[in-house]
Amino acid sequence: MKASLLTFLLLSCHFFAFAQTDSVRSYTTRQLIGDAPKIDGFINDPAWDQVPWSTEDFIQREPAAGKAPSVQTRFKILYDAKNLYVAFKNLDPEPAKIVKRMSRRDGFDGDFVEINIDSYFDKRTAFSFTSSVSGVKGDEYVSNDGNDWDASWDPIWYMKTSINEEGWIAELRIPLSQLRFADKEEHTWGINITRHFFRNQERSNWQYIAPDAPGWVHLFGELRGIKGIKPQKQLEVQPYIVAKTETFQKEEGNPYVTGKSSRLDAGLDAKIGITSDITLDLTVNPDFGQVEADPSQVNLSAFRLFFQEQRPFFIEGSNTLNFPITDFDSNNLFYSRRVGRQPQNTPDTDPDGDDHVNEYVKKNNHTTILGAAKLTGKNKHGFSWGILESVTAKETTEIDSLGSKRNETIEPLTNYFVARAQQDINQGNTIVGGMFTATNRDIQDPQLLWLHKQAYSGGADFIHHWRDRKYYVSLKTLFSHVKGDPQAITATQHASERYFQRPDNKHANVDSSRTSLSGTGGTFVGGRKSGSFVYEIGYTWMSPQLELNDIGFLSQTNTMGQWIWVQYRKLTPFSIFRAFRQNFTQYQNWDFDGESMNRGYEIFTRAEFKNFWIAGLGGNYETHAVSNADLRGGPAIHYPGTLSFWTWVMTDNRKKFQVFLNPQYNVGFDNYKRSITLDLEFNFRPTNALAISIAPSFQKNNNKLQYVSTVSSTGADRHIVGEIDQTIARVSLRMTYMITPNLSIQYWGQPFGTSGKYSNFKKITDADANEYDHRYSLIGNDKIQLNEESYVVDDENGNFEFENPNFNFGQFRSNMVLRWEYIPGSTLFLVWTQEMNGAFYDTTTDRHRRYSFDFQDRAHNIFLLKYTYRFIL
């Protein structure tokens, strides 16, 4: 079967070729003579008469690729020593129907027009500026030939719009300081213009790029005629002041939980153009109080949770310092949330063993970032690079014991360093690169010796395209090396990523005398990415000794995996469809002992309909699964196979009311587990300025082999599992009201609840048995008794006990932000953040099931005012 599939993939290369039918277009601009145009959205200044309107008709990209669009677009471009000026005439025979939806910056809603500028002319990167008819700006840094769009990039530029009897106008002034280009006498830049005609959900291009093209930037048209300009050295300094007040539940006797606290802080951000090719971003004492809280989660697995980065300094330009190991998981050499993380050490509240009962600890949820600097650049030879240097403070916490106070260190002074470089060869058809990271901790306190003193990681990557970038091959290799006290390296060997102590582990043993550990990993991928048939074949590995979590993200090591992905797609309208995609995936994984960890097959269909609805349908069949981690250092446990099904549908997003529906069902063979999930989302647009979203989610899980505890008794470990009935419920509410394009109020709130009830406890007896019911022994009801907060088991090999694993947890988090960009780049934030914790009850009554929350304590409120002012020097 595998041979025939590969033969089919190779033969398909010759029958489904993509052809770029249009030649490269060009627009010739001129240097401005006389007064610059006033950016007011009317383009009636005499300056605009110095250049002609573009004459080529735009070509539709979506949905009817290659056809004439419903409306046409014209543009003009001028420049002077400091600015690029762009005027758009967006023709529309029915201007009363133009959709003027407003959103926060980078919302990309309603009718808009966008210019992409490849000022490096490297065929890989571009700067994107989007003008919404409502006056809302959008801007993105485009990299990797259009595969990555970074909307966190917020340059300073100016734009106004207006509507007239012909359609609508957008007028732009883009300072050259916001672009990057080489120092030479005459320039040719890559450009493309995209028009989004909202009521028809139609996109058209000036330089037509087919939807199945193998890239974006390298297919741009050209902007010519720019002469005599010099790269601008950008210098922007943004100091800020933060005033914060908190109110919370008072705790009697606790000197650190008095019910209220206030503080005033200050810091500074800066962006400095060192040369035309090099930019320095700085932050001193950064504050991220206006950042939205993470969604609530309860983790029953052995692995770390991944949360998206939301802090502006680390988001902007994050593509430059990115080294994902594969495209389908979160493993990465650099995970910026490690910088400023919650302190890792838990203070000892009874150092003398005197059983102190009145010790209080001053909470510290974040490590202070003393300062961070990010240096990025790209030269005219196609060499791009980025460096991040950050220092976080030594964190101590105060402990009060009957009025006597002492300090304990909970995080050492730490230096984080990341460097990334890539070299374009042959106009970006070949790219070679590398990355290196270093974490160095100044560990002076014995209670921190379990942390790595040094941690280094790095990698090299290579990608090559051929046949007009239709085909590609990619190779990544990586390494890690951690050093520290023997207890640190022993803890690393025992960690959930590797569990060297497993009794059936054949490839590694715990060595408690080690002071370092080194590992490797890598990925090889090849495929085709244009045409009606696209595919990818890949292999990846991560050695058992690999460790990235000091500055990266790594969920589990000791794995090798292979996959084949194939997609047939038709991206032009036919029958009832606007576009259609059919995917098939085959995958399997092994550990370094050669044990098959899983094998699966997945099929997925995505269809866009002519009524502007979108739907998907998929299924997954996994023959079996083996986990080296679920028994938390015990033997690998074998699970029966699973079947999963899901579907989703999204109604027409042009309407004021839109619905998203996503049911999912998963069942394990031998009825060992099952889960049902229902995700909903309702989006309502009562006016162009107001957007409301309500997203309820409900999940029921039943797993007969959920890990509970490992009990050591009579010289042996007993691994206890149980049947869990778990309920997870959440509702996310988001409202955005745009007072003006630069003044908004946004609210996000989420009640979250989960409860888990355990029964039918079991001892794992033979985790590798061929028959499912031979892998465990049921603990009979006559052998187990609940005693206060613990279960006591009367076992034939000796009694033992474990904590009652039942849980219920309720939480409400909310965030309200008033954001006013009173002048470009300068912002005022007013923020109210609230959190309440309590219990969530899943109760069955005679008539129905009832869900309820109980928040007994006072809410924790944070009121924050943040004022920033950006100086452009």
Q: DSSP readout, 428-475?
A: TTEEEEEEEEEEEEE--SGGGTTS-SEEEEEEEEEEEEETTTTEEEEE
Rg of the chain over Cα atoms, rounded to whole angstroms, equals: 30
Average pLDDT in the 460-474 region?
96
pLDDT band at residue 347 under the 50/70/90 scheme: confident
Residue 508 has pLDDT above 90, yes or no: no
Q: How far apart are CA 443 and CA 413, in angstroms?
A: 8
Q: Please tell me whether residue 7 adopts helix, strand or coil conformation.
A: helix
| Rounded CA separation 517/485 (Å) | 11
Torsion of CA 300, 302, 303, 305, to 10 degrees: 20
Is the distance from CB of 764 to CB of 772 less than 8 angstroms? Answer: no
Q: Which of 316-325, 449-458, 698-707 has the lowest mean pLDDT?
A: 316-325
Q: Check residue 9 and give its pLDDT.
A: 38
Most confident of 371-380, 396-405, 586-595: 586-595
Q: Does the bond joining 696 to the residue before it have cis omega, within 30 degrees of 0?
A: no
Residue 729 pairs in a beta bridge with: 698, 753
Q: What is the pLDDT of residue 11?
A: 36
Q: Does residue 373 register a pLDDT over 50?
A: yes
For residues 18 and 802, the model is more confident at: 802
Query: Of 540, 410, 568, nearest to 475 (Cα)?
Result: 540
Q: What is the pLDDT of residue 848?
A: 66
pLDDT at 356 over 80: no
As a whole-number percent, the residues of the chain with pLDDT over 90 amount to 77
Residue 846, C-beta contacts closer than 8 angstroms, at least 6 positions apart: none
Kindly tell me the sign of the dihedral angle through the C-alpha atoms of 105, 109, 112, 113.
Answer: positive
pLDDT reading at 494 higher than 70: yes
What average pLDDT does the structure give for the chain?
Answer: 92
Distances (CA, A) of 366 to 196, 207, 246, 393: 43, 48, 16, 10
Q: What does the alpha-carbon distance between residue 525 and residue 536 come to, in Å, rounded to a whole number?
A: 7
pLDDT, tens digit, for every residue of 260-272?
Answer: 999 999 999 898 8
> How many Å apart are CA 834 and CA 733, to the nearest integer?
14
Q: Is 575 left (phi over 0), alpha (psi -120 to 50) or beta?
A: left
Q: Examine the pLDDT at 833 and tell me if it is beyond 50.
A: yes
Q: Please report the pLDDT score of residue 357 as a whole number.
A: 62
Q: Residue 78 has what pLDDT?
A: 98
pLDDT range class, residue 809, cuts 50, 70, 90:
very high
E strands, 50-166, are 59-62, 73-79, 83-91, 112-118, 126-132, 137-143, 148-150, 158-164
Hey, what amino acid is at 100? K
Average pLDDT over residues 556-564: 96
Q: Is 351 exposed, middle or buried (0-12, 13-18, 19+ CB in 10 A)?
A: middle
Residue 751 and residue 733 in contact, taking contact as beta carbons nearer than 8 Å: no
Report the pLDDT value the prediction gives residue 382, as an integer from 0 to 100. 86
Single-letter residue type at 829: F
Q: Are 304 and 549 in contact (CB under 8 A)?
A: yes
pLDDT in tens, 144-166: 899 989 888 889 999 999 999 99
Residue-level pLDDT at 244: 93
When pLDDT is cut at 50, 70 and 90, the band that residue 21 belongs to is: very low
Residue 412 has pLDDT above 90, yes or no: yes
- At residue 5, does pLDDT exceed 60? no
* pLDDT score, position 446: 92
Looking at residue 355, its pLDDT comes to: 56
Q: Which two tokens stand for residue 450?
A: 């379990």
Between 582 and 286, where is the model more confident? 582
Helix (H, G, I), strand (E, B) or coil at 312: helix
Residue 8: partners with Cβ closer than 8 Å, 6 or more residues away: none
Closest alpha carbon to 324 in 508, 525, 612: 525
Q: What is the pTM of this model?
A: 0.89
- pLDDT at position 320 over 90: no
Q: Are the CB atoms for 836 and 811 separated by under 8 Å?
A: yes
DSSP assignment of 638-663: EEEEEEEEEEEEE--TTSSEEEEEEE
Domains belonging to the chain, first-starting first, are: 2-227 (2.60.40.1190)
Candidate from 205-214, 794-803, 829-838 with smallest mean pLDDT: 794-803
| Residues composing the chain | 873
pLDDT value of residue 14: 36
Q: Which residues contact 403 (CB under 8 A, 6 or more apart)?
A: none
pLDDT attached to residue 786: 92
Task: Provide the token pair at 316.
Answer: 């902007």
Please check the confidence at residue 581 and state whether its pLDDT lies above 50. yes
How does residue 727 score in pLDDT terms, banded at 50, 70 and 90?
A: very high
Asked if pLDDT for residue 354 goes beyond 90, the answer is no
> pLDDT grade, residue 797 (50/70/90)?
confident
Q: Which residue has the higher pLDDT, 755 or 234?
A: 755
